[in-house]
Structure 1
Amino acid sequence: MDISALKLAIQQHMSDGLVTIVGSGLSCAEGIPGMNALASHLCSAMPSLVGGSLLDEWVKVSPNITTYGLEEGLTKIAPSTDLEEAIRVEVGRVVSEAEAAITAEVFAGTRTLRFTRLLPHLLRPSGGLQVVTTNYDRLLEVASEEAGLGVDVMFNGVFAGRLDERETRLSFCRDVKLHKGTSRFLYAERVVISKPHGSLDWYERNGEPVRHCGQLRNVSRLIIPPGQNKYRNGYSSPFDVHRERGNKEIDRASRFLIVGYGFNDVHLETHLTDRIRKGTPTLILAHTLTDNAKKVVSANPNVIALESSVVSGTAATRVYSQGSTDIFAGLSLWDLEQLVTEVFEP
């Protein structure tokens, strides 16, 4: 495949029925700590944050994190409820601080997020652009609003938004047209974001999930930390509602754009990899493809994957397509920002 054919294939891929899957790689590219950075931070910070039996437990758990990484390390020994809560609080704090620094730049007009630059080049169906993300941060929400689009995260309200899919959807209704006795609802252009692992602005209040965009002290965020308990925790509200909506959109997608996602999540894999195996056209962008992602690429000719490479000390893009591999020196098309520049804004 030459570069012109690749660019044309990417342009044609951004068409009807696109569902975008976003993993931590996109947030990392913007400056949010990834799994490696979080693992390093927890290993250095947790001994001063917990004590007594929790410290004893952490001493047993932490070597696995050092050896296997945060995600796999926390599956070796399942943390107790109290230790898991301590991990959740610290992960939420670290990610929130990084997010605040990034959004301050966006607010000041000194920074444009990668996803903001992509959105004008995507078709906008009446049901909204569908995005499924495993990330806790709200950079996708910020990016969408910066692109002039509404954001549907299934919570309706400002101070303590209620989880209500129908009310949230109807809040974007702008008009009703009558034609031959049939009503047609017209909706504002929006991005519909499903977050099966939770979000920094989700909290529990009086036993119910709510959305509050400010900072709350001494209130646990509703985010699912990595580890052995992740699968179980994903079957409680509001995670289950978002997971079900995300999987529903995956099941009816005509094509996938997958950005910075490593194919390591049990909540999505049953539906996502099944659809890819059944031939759904898929474009994967990643700095480095994980082993699981490479298995998906090698087993499915309907997948085009781009990852970083280096040629003679120069940044390059390695492209996998239909069993062949091509390398394009001087281009970093795996990076969403450069992809938009080279493919959509030449």
Structure 2
Amino acid sequence: MSEIPDEVFDLAQRAIAAFPLVVVGSGSSVPYGMPGMPALAEHLKGEIKPDGNDELNAWTFVRTCLSNGDGLERALSKNVLPDSLTFKIIRSTWNMISGSDSAALSLLLSRPRRTGLARLLGKLSTSSNKEINIVTTNYDRIIEYISGIEGIYCDTGFLPGSIQKQNDGPHRLLIEKYEKSVLRLHKVHGSLDWFARNDGGIFSISAKFNLGEEFRPLIVTPGVEKYRQVYQDPFRRVLSNADSALDRAASYICLGYGFRDEHIEPRMRTRCRDRDAPILVLTKELTPEALSFLNECGGKNYLAFENCGENTRVRTRSQPDGIECPGTFWTMEGFVERFL
């Protein structure tokens, strides 16, 4: 086991000091009790009740894929599902995750100590940078809750209010009066509080209400259908803003992200490979896609931390296979204790 090399501290500080764009994946929500894909797959298997032969045949195929070892995203991507079945999957997914989201809020409000993400946002928001950009594939509202607890204004692309409509232009309300940065949150797969009404209206509604049949949750679930959904509002506008932020970023910090989203990686690939933008990755386990990205596009300024028992495996350009260092600084809490 090695002590943390000076190079690692240097690379971490380069990523933080360059006003990073933060990419947040599903792994970052697990510590707050949010379900992962395996748990969601089991939930859907128990909850989805197909109607008619088209739904029955499609869902039987999905269940067979899951039984044969495919993950949920792969199983849902092998066949085009009927729209009616896709709606059931979206509604059932929303029901499961919204319950966990409420429990996560209670957990955050009862914590006496600031979370690691809260401390990172606090660090970034007191710098001379006036805007923090976060791109996330998560539906949950953990980032919004943490920013609210920290007193950081969070712009999700909707106008302020209890019932919010999507903003048609860049939102700059009272920014000049904020001492901290404004958080621009780009939720490229939707959010638990986004809904479409049957008449075409799109709203963000944070309060609990009876989700009748006239409202459809605006979340993009895995599968072939997501490629059509993301090019419709509100996702089209969110993706456009996320693309601009990704293209402008001087550095990246990736938290619990598996590098499996075809809308995010191409933008980061160009910046890291052609501009040598620093990139810092914190995750429990680097996926094959993450390792491929870092090896092919990471340049000389990449730094990755992953779980290694009671310690952390550190990968850099000079140590692509990684070295084991003492401490659990692959977690957000461990990282801020050691590096901020």
Provide TM-score, normalisation by structure 2.
0.89
Do residues 291 (structure 1) and 284 (structure 2) align?
no
Q: 1:158 aligns to what?
A: 161
What amino acid is aligned across from residue 200 of structure 2 in structure 1? G
Q: CA contact under 8 A between 1:65 and 1:74: conserved in structure 2?
A: no
CA distance in 2, matches of 1:36, 1:91: 12
Q: CA contact under 8 A between 2:12 and 2:303: conserved in structure 1?
A: no
Task: Tell me the number of residue pairs that the alignment of Structure 1 and Structure 2 aligns.
Answer: 327
Q: CA deviation at 1:215?
A: 2.6
Structure-2 change in CA distance of 1:213 and 1:125 (3 Å): farther
Cα deviation digits, residues 284-335 of structure 1 (max 9, x gap): 111111111010122233311111113xxxx111111014144335411111
Q: Which has the higher strand share?
A: 1
Match of 2:221 among 225, 238, 252: 225
Q: CA contact under 8 A between 2:11 and 2:303: conserved in structure 1?
A: no
Q: CA deviation at 1:244?
A: 0.8
Q: 1:120 aligns to what?
A: 122
Q: Secondary structure at the match of 2:133?
A: strand
Cα deviation digits, residues 247-305 of structure 1 (max 9, x gap): 10110111000111111111212212222222111011111111110101222333111
CA distance in 1, matches of 2:163, 2:315: 46
Match of 2:146 among 143, 147, 158: 143
CA distance in 1, matches of 2:339, 2:301: 20
Do residues 320 (structure 1) and 315 (structure 2) align?
yes
Q: 1:134 aligns to what?
A: 137
Consecutive unaligned residues of structure 1, counting only runs of 5 or more, are: 176-185
What amino acid is aligned across from residue 133 of structure 1 in structure 2? T
Q: 1:99 aligns to what?
A: 101
What amino acid is aligned across from residue 212 of structure 1 in structure 2? I
Structure-2 change in CA distance of 1:341 and 1:142 (3 Å): same
Consecutive unaligned residues of structure 2, counting only runs of 5 or more, are: none
Cα deviation digits, residues 7-64 of structure 1 (max 9, x gap): 3432342113311111111012321111121112212332xx4443333431122222
Q: 1:69 aligns to what?
A: 71
Larger displacement relative to structure 2 (187-196 or 24-33): 187-196
Cα deviation digits, residues 121-178 of structure 1 (max 9, x gap): 22545542111001001101111121221111110132321111536x2323345xxx
CA distance in 1, matches of 2:175, 2:112: 33
Q: CA contact under 8 A between 1:174 and 1:188: conserved in structure 2?
A: no
Larger displacement relative to structure 2 (334-343 or 322-331): 322-331
User: Kindly, what percent of the aligned residue pairs are identical?
Assistant: 28
Match of 1:15 among 12, 17, 21: 17
Structure-2 change in CA distance of 1:7 and 1:69 (3 Å): same
Alignment of 1:176-215 (within 5 A): 189-205=181-197, 206-215=199-208
Q: CA deviation at 1:112?
A: 4.2
Larger displacement relative to structure 2 (137-146 or 11-20): 11-20
Q: 1:52 aligns to what?
A: 52
Provide TM-score, normalisation by structure 1.
0.88
Q: CA deviation at 1:229?
A: 1.7
CA distance in 1, matches of 2:105, 2:305: 28
What amino acid is aligned across from residue 143 of structure 2 in structure 1? L
Q: 2:330 aligns to what?
A: 334
CA distance in 2, matches of 1:281, 1:22: 16
What amino acid is aligned across from residue 86 of structure 1 in structure 2? K
Structure-2 change in CA distance of 1:318 and 1:64 (3 Å): same
Q: CA contact under 8 A between 2:305 and 2:312: conserved in structure 1?
A: yes
RMSD over aligned Cα, in angstroms? 2.1
Match of 1:88 among 83, 87, 90: 90
Q: Secondary structure at the match of 2:35?
A: coil
Structure-2 change in CA distance of 1:111 and 1:69 (3 Å): farther
Match of 2:172 among 160, 167, 170: 170
